[in-house]
Each structure stands twice: as structure tokens, then as C-alpha cells.
Chains A and B, each alone.
Chain A
Amino acid sequence: MAKYVVKRVIAALLSLLCLITIVFFLVRLMPGDPFTSVKLTKEVAANMKSYYGFDKPLLLQYATYLGNLFQGNFGYSMKYTNKTVNYIIGQTFPFSADLGIRALVLAISFGLVLGIIAARNRGKKLDFICVLIAIIGTSIPDFIMGAVLQYFFGIKWGLLPVAKYLGFEYTILPATALAFYTLTSVSRVMRASMLEVVQQDYIKTARSKGLTDFRITWKHQIRNAITPVMTIMGPTVAAVLTGTFVIESIFAIPGMGKYYVESINNNDYAMILGMTVFYGMFLVTCNLIVDILYGVADPRVRIGKR
């Protein structure tokens, strides 16, 4: 197991280095530069370029960047002057992560329950209802879900705050809106996987042994069916926890979602790199954890990998 983990960690670090290198050179190919604005004069642009070291050879800039990165320093944002990318991530990530965790808890718990209910009632009314919820959730984009929740609960009925993120009651609407899509994908995967497991011989064996329905579902079906759900959880956790552009902007949450999109529009090189590397690290870590968890949920995976 230890060897397996070490191997995975090294692979993860290598892929991060590739990611940094590719992104570093790719962003320079984008049209324009970080200092584009309506009122920028040539003189000012030249001063700003030398301030950020863009007048130096590109390879030297790359080396400098890597050097700083090893010390955990993402550099200064070029759009938000005097602020470091570390500071911005430090400020915004806790909000995104907080919202993401709430959404995930909602999504996983309700998603699994819906998937299990649907699978156990295959072809019946309850299955139909669960599948309907899943279809609605998949087909309604989160910005519409967010806006609808905001309108009814925030403005029309005045039950919950419209926007901002100042306490528990502020988290409910955005977390629900964010959870919806994940919830439906979890429930769909869970349902399909449960139905597959039901066909297996060991379920028949369990049934012929005279085990109760509950015991069969709980001990044999769910545990075996949950592996595919874990597979989709790796990237989902990374994506949800590092901020979502749409939900955060609708509910005015000071998270990091907007910086991904905006940094590219602004050609804010340091920010694009910082965000990508941060997200990359997160994704790689999540996938690593999932890989290890496979082994916990299903001992056969562990043996197979040896």
C-alpha cells in the first residue's frame, strides 16, 4: 500500500510540473497582455512591463517563476495591484470551500438516498419521481436554479437573505443551488450501479440465505455499488470546493470562482497560473484520496494493485 501511495504521489507531482510549464507558455500566446485598457499609453505600458519583469527573456521568467513557486509564492496579481495571488487565494478559498462542503454534504446524502430509493423501486412510481428529479436537476442550469431560489425565498417571501455570505442563513440558498446538479448526477450513478449489483450472484445467495431486505441492501448492495460514485467524487469535490463562478456571482459570495474566469479575460498571467496550479494541486489530491479510498471500500482493489 505504501509503495502504491508513493508512486501515485510522484506521478501527481510530475503532472503538476507539466501543467505549470504548459500553462506558463500558453498564456503568453493569448492576444493582448495584462495591461490592456482603453486609456493605456505606450510609455505607461513600457513601465508596467518592466515593473513585472516582462522585458526579460521568457526562459528566465520561467525559471524565476518556478523558483518562487517552490517557496510557495505565486507572485503579484497584475490586475489587482499590490495584492499577491497568495493573499487573494487565502481570502477567497475559505468561502468557496465552506460553500462547497455544504453543497457536497447535501448533494451526496440526498443523491445517494434518491438513487437507492429509485433502484429499489425500479419501474414503480417512486423510481419515476426520483428519475424525474434527476432529469430536472440535470437540465436546469445552476444560474437559473440560483436566480429562481433567490427570487422566491429572498425577495418574494423574504425568508432568506438575498445575497452575501455572513452566516448560516446566508449559506442555504447558494448551497442548495450548487448541490442540485451534483445531487442528480450522484443519484443517477448510484441508481445504475445499484441495479447492476442486484443482478449479481452474491445478492441471490444472500436472498436465498433468508437475509432481510434491509440487510441485503445495506450490507451487500450499497457497499458494492458505491465505487462508481466515488470515482466521480474526485473531480467533483475539487471543482465544487474551489469555487463556482456562477453561483458565487449570483449570491455575491466572495469566493474564488470568478478569478478563474476573470484572470483569463484580463490576461492576468500570475493569477491564471496561481489559480491553475492551486486547482491542479487540489484535483490531484482529491483523486489520490479517492484512489486510496477504493482500497478501503473494496479490498480487491488493493490486492489487484500490488
Chain B
Amino acid sequence: MKKKVLATLLCATMAVGLLAGCGAAKKESDSGSDSKEKVFRYAVSTEPTTLDPTKANGIGDNEIQHALTESLVRNTAGDVQPGCAESWDVSDDGLTYTFHLRDGLKWSDGEDLTAADFEYGWKRLLDPETASPYAFIGEYIKNGLDVEQGKKDVDELGVKAVDDQTFEVTLENPTAYWLSLIGSSSQYAPLRQDVVEEYGTDFAATADKNVYSGPFKLTGSENNEYIFEKNENYWNADKINLDKVQLTYVEKPETQLSMYEAGDLDYVQVPSAYVPDYEDKSEKFTNGNVDYCYINHKSDNKALQNKNFRLALNYGINREDYNKLANSSVHNAFNGLVYQGLQANGKTYGEAYKLDSYPLAGDNDKAKEYLEKAMKELGVSKASDISVELTTTDAESSKKIAEVVQSQWTENLGINVDIRQVTYAEIYGEVLPKGDYEIAFGGWGADYDDPYSYLELFKSDAAYNYSQYKNDKVDELLNDAKVQTDAQKRMDELHDAEQEIIDDAAFIPLQSRNIFYMHDERVTGLNFYFCSLNFDWVYADMK
């Protein structure tokens, strides 16, 4: 019996010993932080896929590069300011840009930054040898697509370093949002040829294998921790307040929240499921992501080629209820295609244009009316004879969305809705590109601040025309907008195209996304944007 007691006691002492030892250690490390240095700490839940600016693939990578690179201009939450270029001239046809670089530009290692670094960087983006996953963002440049496809030599790309401080670019079309685009897309960063060639395929594999042109330089990139330090060689270093930024990759948003609660982070995004609990403490921004259901206009399901049926589907959804049930009202119910916060000649797009669309609360009478018309045209006597298949990814949130849409259509229209779940790789690798679906849940975020980014998905010859949609009126409007130099007229055309897409019920809009976040009260100067990147801390400060 004594031995039993002894064994139990032994276990207990060991456990207590473990806990006691560490409690003390933590207190010491807490008081160790330097009070003078301004350090900003935050976390992301998607691991950066690369540190190579040319190969940045999506918002997460681009956010990092936004702090590390400086393009010709800098786009801060839509405000485009001179960057490496002090000024620029645009030719009358809007096709040729001549950028004049600042005096004394330097890389983080002290070398001079010249126009040749831009020429090299932009050519590398489109060079098929580079195989950048975002090469398409360079297709605006003259011969961009041909170079990318290997039809033309890289030297035929429309970029030229005239001298050390003059950089000339020729575009395929006069692109209204061109400057805004290059100011927020790191793929347009300057690059140092000698550094890229020195490291070859290991270029930018770690922080020390690159040099930096931006407000910050990367000094650490190991064990899921990325350390940014102020780049003293940056031309506008006086405007940069933070000394150091510590970015940790923490996969689980719930863990990030716990770390924030424990004081280990200065900024955190609130995971959707926790938003109701943190509503009072958090603020929100819209990230420009619009979610909707694609309709396959060439599917074997004849009903989907019937406009009245598509209208019935659209009127048959109560988007307000949907938003409550599927998202706990975290997002906004939405009945359009183009994100409302885009800029449209000095106003937001939502202020400038009023879309005439399906009511957010739905309209069951209208839905039934359209359904009856559709049934007559299709020669169907019972609504339950019509079946549609809704494809979605196997993510828990997408499944919920599909189920809400399914129940509303079944209830309001009386049709059959089957849900098919596939993996993320399948939906973007097979289902959407090959048109192997009837209706599919997806969405879009803009790469640049212009309605065209969203509308292009419904242009018959566009790479992303996942709906296999062809509408001559839409094509005509969008083609004209591509070359139109009158800004007002161009924006009108884009709005008309959106209206036509809605009138034709080409897709099924659902929601526009909100992101909730919290930050330490000492933090100021955070910026949020809705294309290419969401979170911009370059000008942040710690009081």
C-alpha cells in the first residue's frame, strides 16, 4: 500500500514541478521586451508560398511583398502616390508611359536602383522560363501575352530602360487602372539581375537570398516567422514609423485569437464563427470578395439555358435569410457582380451607379411566375421534374452555403437540388475550367480597382469565363471599354454590362465579404484594401 501512495505522490510532484518551473520563466521573458523599439506583431493563416516578388501567388504573398518592394508608384488603399518614379508622362493615345525615376534610389544593400532593374523585373515576369503563377498580370504590356506563350522573344516586350532614370512602357490597350494596378501588384517590382542570377532556383528561398527596394527589408524567414526591419535606404524612410514587424504563420485562426487574447499579437482577424462574440470589440472592412454561384450555360441541363428558369432561381433566394443562416450575418447579402467599393471617377462604384437587381429579400411571386413560364417553354408539367446539381468544395463553410441555397430553392420553387462536393483542387483544376458542372459555388476577388476585373468573367473570350457564357451585348460593351479613353463613358459601359448580366440572370449573386479584426490600442495607421492585397501596415505606427 505504501508503494502505491509513493507512486501517486511521485507522479504528482513531477507534474507540479513541471508547471512551477515554467511559470517563473514566463514572467522573466515578459519584462524583457524593449519599450523604445516599435515592433508590430501579427499573424496570417495561409503560409506564404514564396518570397520571390515575381512569383507572388495571391493576396498573402502580395501583402508581404507590398512592404518589401517599391514599384514605380505605391498604391495605399486606393490612393496612388509616386514611388520609385517621381513623375511620369502619358502619351495622348494612353498607350505609352514614360517614368522619371528619383535621384539616389538605393537597394537595401546600398547599390543603386535604376530603370534597368525595372526592365529586368518585368521581363522576368513574362519570361516562360520563370513560370510565374501570376504572369498573366503582365499581359497588359505590349506583346505580353505573346512573350508568355513563347511566340515572341522576351526582348520584344514593350518595356525599355532609356537611361538609368527613364523607364518607358508601352501597353496593349489604354488601361485606365494601370497605375493603380502596378502600385499594388508586387509582380511589377524591380529586381536585381545579379542577385537573381547568383542564387538561381534558390533566389529568395530565404530572407538573405534577396535584396529589397521597399520600405522594409526581410531579415528572417525561418520557422514560420518572418521578420521585417525598416530599410534605411528606402527613399521615403522618414515616413516609415515601425522599426520591426514580426509576422507569424499560425494556421488556425482560433489559435491566433488566443494569442491575441494572451497579448502575443497586436492585430488579429476574428474567425467568422467568433464574430458574434467579438462584435463590440472588433472593426470590419470589406475585402472585395464577392461570392456567387456560376451557372454553366453549356451544360446538358436544358433548364439552365432557359432565361426564365435562371430568373426564377435568382428571385427564389431570400439573400437576407441566406446571410443569416449561412454566415451568421458576418458578410453582406449582395445582388450584384461588381464590388460596390471600387472607385468610379471620384465616387465609389456603388454610389455612382444603382443596379436594378433582384430584391435582397427575394420575391416568391415573381420567382413562381418565371418558373411557370420556364416550365411551359421547357415542356415540363411539375416543378419537381426539374433537377439541378449544385457543386461546391468540401470546406465546411461552402457546404453550409450550398445547403441553405438548396433548402430555399426546394421550398420556394419546388425543384430538386442535389449537392455535389469536390475538393478545392478539383473545382479549380477540373470542374470550372472544363465546364463539368451545372451550378457551382465560387467567387471572385479583384486584382485591380476596376469593374472590369469582375465583369471579365462573363466575357465570351476571357480565360476565366467559367460560365461558358456568351452574350453579344456584354462582349461589345466590354470590348469597347477596353479601348475607350473617355473615363466617364467607359465606366457607363461597364455598368451597362453589369446590368445586362443581371437582366440575363447569367449567374446567382449571394454575398460580399466582410473581415472583422481587432488591434491593440497603441496601433495606428493600418490600411485595408480590396484588391491584390487586404492588409497594409507599411505606414502603421505604435504609440
Q: Which residues of A contact B (CB under 8 A)?
A: 30-33, 35-44, 46-48, 50-52, 76, 79-84, 87, 91, 95, 110, 113, 117, 121, 126, 147, 150-151, 154-155, 158-165, 167-169, 172, 214, 249-252, 254, 258, 265-267
Contacts and interface: CB of A to CB of B under 8 A. Distances in A.
A82 B202 contact: yes
User: What are the 10 A-B residue pairs with the smallest beta carbon separation, nearest first?
Assistant: A32-B429, A169-B22, A32-B425, A51-B131, A36-B429, A254-B224, A252-B250, A254-B223, A41-B463, A81-B50
B63 interface: no
B463 A42 contact: yes
Nearest to B137: A39
Nearest to B252: A249
B155 to A, nearest CB: 18
Given A44-B136, A172-B19, A252 B224 contact: yes
Contact of A161 (B223, B262, B442): B262
B252 A48 contact: no
5 contacts: A33-B429, A82-B204, A161-B264, A254-B224, A254-B249
Contacts of B424: 36, 265
- Taking each of B43, B55, B429, which has the highest tally of chain A beta carbons within 10 Å of its own beta carbon? B429
A126 B11 CA distance: 14
Given A43-B136, A80-B50, A252 B22 contact: no
A32 B428 contact: yes
B535 to A, nearest CB: 19
B423 A31 contact: yes
A31 B49 contact: no
A157 to B, nearest CB: 9
B517 interface: no
Given A36-B425, A44-B135, A44-B136, A159 B22 contact: yes
Interface in B23-59: 23, 25-26, 29, 43, 47, 49-52, 55, 57-58
A163 B463 contact: no
Given A155-B261, A249-B252, A169 B26 contact: yes
Interface string B463-485: 11000000000000000000000
Contacts of A38: 428, 442, 444
B128 interface: yes
Nearest to A164: B248
A249 B255 CA distance: 8
B223 A252 contact: no
B201 interface: yes
Contacts of A155: 258, 261-262
Nearest to A82: B205
A31 B4 contact: no
Given A43-B148, A46-B149, A48-B133, 6 more contacts: A52-B131, A76-B201, A81-B50, A150-B258, A158-B262, A162-B264
Nearest to A160: B22
B530 to A, nearest CB: 16
B178 interface: no
A267 B223 CA distance: 23
Given A37-B133, A39-B134, A82-B50, A168 B255 contact: no
Interface string B444-473: 100100000000000000011000000000
B154 to A, nearest CB: 13
A297 B131 CA distance: 56
A40 B428 contact: yes
A87 B442 CA distance: 35
Given A117-B7, A159-B19, A265-B424, A250 B252 contact: yes
Contacts of B222: 91
Contacts of A52: 131
Given A82-B50, A82-B204, A95-B223, A162 B19 contact: no
Contact of A44 (B148, B262, B422): B148
Interface in B416-447: 422-426, 428-430, 442, 444, 447
B246 to A, nearest CB: 11
Nearest to B54: A81
A159 B205 contact: no
B129 interface: yes
Contact of A252 (B7, B57, B135, B252): B252
Contacts of A40: 133, 428
Contact of B250 (A50, A163, A172): A163
B112 interface: no
Contacts of A91: 222-223
A154 B264 CA distance: 11
Interface in B192-208: 201-205
Contacts of B464: 39, 41
B441 to A, nearest CB: 13
Contacts of B225: 254
Given A43-B135, A160-B22, A250-B255, A82 B224 contact: no
A151 B248 CA distance: 20
A32 B426 contact: yes
Contacts of A168: 21-22, 25
Given A82-B52, A82-B55, A31 B258 contact: no
B25 A167 contact: yes
Interface string B127-165: 011111111100000000100111000000000000000
